[in-house]
Amino acid sequence: MLIIKVEELKSERRMLRIREVLPWKTFEFRGEMHRVLQPIQVDISVHREEKDIIVNGTVRTVLEARCDRCLTKLELPLKGEIEAVYKRYDPAKGPMVISGELKDCDNVIYYSDDEIDLTDRVRESLLLEIPMKILCKEDCKGICPYCGANLNEEPNHKCTRMYGVRAQESKFSVLKTLKL
Ligand SMILES: [Zn+2]
Ligand SMILES: [Zn+2]
């Protein structure tokens, strides 16, 4: 469970350790579901400083992804970091203006319940680690834009379809067919 019961942290000296293996089978990023290839391992420590709850930890997993250039399936190992400060927010005191403070430090989160759910922190920490460009290797050659052949496997690929397209586009191709 990724839920912290605030009551358990009443004593300031108390440190909670959350070590969990999450049963998530898939993980969503870039608007698509991706298979979780190695169980998501969470190791988080939680302690209290006055009314703030300080959360630190790591999240590890391996996700299935596809190379952005050649579309080959690959394993994407991720190690995310969690660093967050939960501050007590008392709803009885009315709405709180938090925008200014959040700008300075966006890992400050406000809590008002007796429980804090860390699920979103786990998800964020992994999302932050997903590279802008996912590549099977640095120099991936990608695929042929005409027929989709993998150019890593066929480095000397000469596309017959490419010539086909060009021939059709060319006015001379008509003449060629007439001659035949
Ligand atoms: Zn690739
Ligand atoms: Zn081709």
Q: How far is the CA of 109 from the centre of ligand 1 (A)?
A: 39
Q: How far is the CA of 152 from the centre of ligand 2 (A)?
A: 12
- Tens digits of pLDDT across the chain (180 residues): 799 988 888 777 778 999 999 999 999 999 999 999 999 999 999 999 888 899 999 999 999 999 999 999 999 999 999 999 999 887 777 666 555 444 445 688 988 888 999 999 999 999 999 999 999 999 999 999 999 999 999 999 999 876 655 545 555 444 454 544
Q: How far is the CA of 142 from the centre of ligand 2 (A)?
A: 11
The domain ranges of the chain are: 3-129, 141-180
Q: How far is the CA of 125 from the centre of ligand 1 (A)?
A: 25
What pTM was estimated for this model as a whole? 0.78
Contacts of 58 (CB under 8 A, 6+ apart): 42, 43, 44, 79, 80, 81, 82, 125
CA atoms within 13 A on the CB side of 131: 15
- 160 alpha carbon, closest ligand: 2
Q: How far is the CA of 167 from the centre of ligand 2 (A)?
A: 15
